Structure 1
Amino acid sequence: MAKAVDFIKECGAELKKVVWPTKDDVISSVKVVVISSIVIAVILGAFDLLFSAGMGLLFPAA
């Protein structure tokens, strides 16, 4: 049991050393991730549309 208590104390000590990001840093990072995700989704959607149209031309439905 003493080892578990020591582990929790050491975890708390390590967490005090962490340099946490500011609110502005977090918001700007979230914006980058959301915008990047949207851009990649649009690009993949365009490729899917083009490949679907190409397959429709190569293999027309009966």
Structure 2
Amino acid sequence: MRKIWTFLTESYGELRKVVWPSWDSVVSSVKVVLVSTVLFAVFFGLVDYLLLNGLYLFF
């Protein structure tokens, strides 16, 4: 039980040392991730569609 308590207190101490990002930075990062995910999904969907239709022309 002592080891668990030591682990928890040391973990809490380490978390207090962390420099957490500001809310604006987090929101900005989330926007970048969402936009890039949608763009990649559209791009790969378009490539898949074109390749599939290209294969249908031959077979």
**TM-score range normalised by the length of the shorter chain:** over 0.9
> Once superposed, what is the RMSD of the aligned Cα atoms?
0.5
Equivalent position of 1:52 in the other structure: 52
Are positions 1:36 and 2:32 aligned together? no
Name the count of aligned residue pairs.
Answer: 59
How much has 1:42 moved relative to structure 2?
A: 0.8
Structure 2 unaligned residues grouped into runs of 5+? none
Q: In 1, Cα distance between the equivalents of 2:49 and 2:12?
A: 51
Per-residue CA deviation, residues 2-52 of structure 1 (Å, 9 max, x unaligned), is: 111111000000000011111000000000000000110111011011111
Are positions 1:10 and 2:10 aligned together? yes
| Rg larger for | 1
The structure carrying a bigger helix percent of its residues is 2
Moved over 4 A (4+): none
